[in-house]
């Protein structure tokens, strides 16, 4: 969106429709906007292809409200992660098209229809306890324009559930495997497919699971090739990475 705006200003200068002072006034807030407590990076979409995302955890509701209000003045979708219900209730009246997923704590303000890629990302979970993290990945990918397929509760405790859906595995260009406990799901999937597998360890497990550390170490030590690993419960990172891969595929 901002790239188009900059190009339009350049054309207006070239055609004599804007003088230097008018152009400056038009562009001065594009690099970033200083709110005093936050600097909103409006050029991030130009550099990386995706707008800045609001990470809500640790921020005050008042600050989140101010950031959302400022970003809504731009013609861009807003994705906020780790958003509590309190944040949703405080901000929901700022825009008329708001999506909030309480389970994954993802909050979306939709200003533009989501793009839908031709290539698909599959998001698979070991169990239903992993769905909150999986939905963070799924909603992130969807906001970023990626077609998402969900395949939940297909962990190794009942591996036939996964093997019976080989058609879905083979139809997707990137797979996100979300699992807690011993974190075995990515290794199994990695041995079945010829596409990138992004492993997401979750903090689901008993005792010496160490809040996801056991799953993280298991995934990092996977004997299956082609697996990359994000941090514990980092569904956002997985969804973002998968979308970036899909974008490169479609560019090619």
- Measured from the Cβ of residue 229, the count of other Cβ atoms closer than 10 Å reads 24
Q: What is the mean pLDDT of residues 193-210?
A: 94
> Mean pLDDT score of the chain, rounded to an integer?
91
52-65: pLDDT as tens digits: 899 999 999 999 99
Share of the chain above pLDDT 90, in %: 74
Q: 154-175 b/e with 16+ CB inside 10 Å = b? A: bbbeeeeebeebeebbeebbbb
For residue 2, pLDDT over 60 is answered with no
pLDDT of residue 160: 94
Lowest mean pLDDT among 25-29, 76-80, 90-94, 224-228: 25-29
For residue 108, pLDDT over 90 is answered with yes
DSSP character for 176? Answer: E
pLDDT of residue 4: 67
Q: Where in the chain is the domain with CATH 3.40.50.1970?
A: 120-251
- Please choose, from the candidates 125, 121, 120, the residue with its C-alpha nearest in 3D space to the C-alpha of residue 103: 125
137-161: pLDDT as tens digits: 999 999 999 999 999 999 999 999 9
State residue 121 phi and psi, 5-degree precision: -110, 130
Query: Which of the pair, 36 or 34, is modelled with greater confidence?
Result: 36
pLDDT of residue 60: 97
For residue 184, pLDDT over 70 is answered with yes
Give CA–CA dist 79/107, Å, rounded.
Answer: 6
113-127: pLDDT as tens digits: 999 999 999 999 999
Is 45 in a helix, a strand, or coil? helix
Query: Which of the pair, 7 or 170, is modelled with greater confidence?
Result: 170
pLDDT of residue 30: 65
pLDDT of residue 169: 95
Contact status, residue 250 vs residue 116, Cβ threshold 8 Å: no
* pLDDT interval class at 243 (50, 70, 90): very high
**DSSP-assigned letters across all residues of 145-169:** T-EEEEE-S--GGGTHHHHTTHHHH
pLDDT of residue 195: 96
Lowest mean pLDDT among 42-56, 58-72, 177-191: 42-56
Share of the chain above pLDDT 70, in %: 94
Query: Which fold does the domain 120-251 belong to in CATH?
Result: Rossmann fold (3.40.50)
pLDDT of residue 24: 67
Give CA–CA dist 118/157, Å, rounded.
Answer: 33
């Amino acid at each position: 969106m901002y790239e188009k705006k900059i190009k339009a200003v350049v054309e207006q200068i070239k055609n004599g429709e804007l003088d230097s002072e008018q152009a400056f006034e038009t562009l001065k807030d594009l690099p970033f906007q200083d709110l005093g407590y936050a600097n909103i990076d409006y050029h991030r979409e130009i550099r990386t292809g995706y707008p800045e995302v609001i990470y809500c955890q640790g921020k005050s509701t008042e600050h989140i409200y101010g950031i959302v209000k400022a970003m809504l003045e731009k013609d861009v979708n807003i994705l906020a992660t780790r958003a509590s219900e309190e944040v949703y209730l405080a901000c929901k009246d700022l825009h008329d098209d708001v999506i909030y997923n309480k389970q994954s704590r993802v909050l979306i303000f939709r200003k533009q229809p989501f793009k839908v890629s031709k290539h698909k990302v599959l998001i698979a979970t070991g169990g239903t306890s992993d769905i909150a993290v999986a939905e963070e990945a799924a909603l992130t990918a969807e906001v970023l324009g990626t077609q998402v397929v969900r395949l939940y509760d297909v962990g190794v405790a009942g591996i036939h559930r996964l093997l019976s859906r080989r058609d879905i595995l083979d139809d997707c260009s990137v797979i996100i495997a979300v699992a807690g406990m011993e974190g075995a799901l990515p290794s199994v999937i990695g041995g079945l497919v010829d596409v990138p597998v992004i492993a997401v360890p979750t903090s689901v497990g008993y005792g010496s699971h160490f809040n996801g550390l056991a799953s993280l170490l298991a995934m990092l030590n996977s004997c299956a090739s082609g697996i990359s690993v994000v941090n514990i419960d980092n569904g956002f990172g997985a969804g973002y990475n998968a979308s970036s891969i899909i974008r490169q595929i479609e560019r090619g």
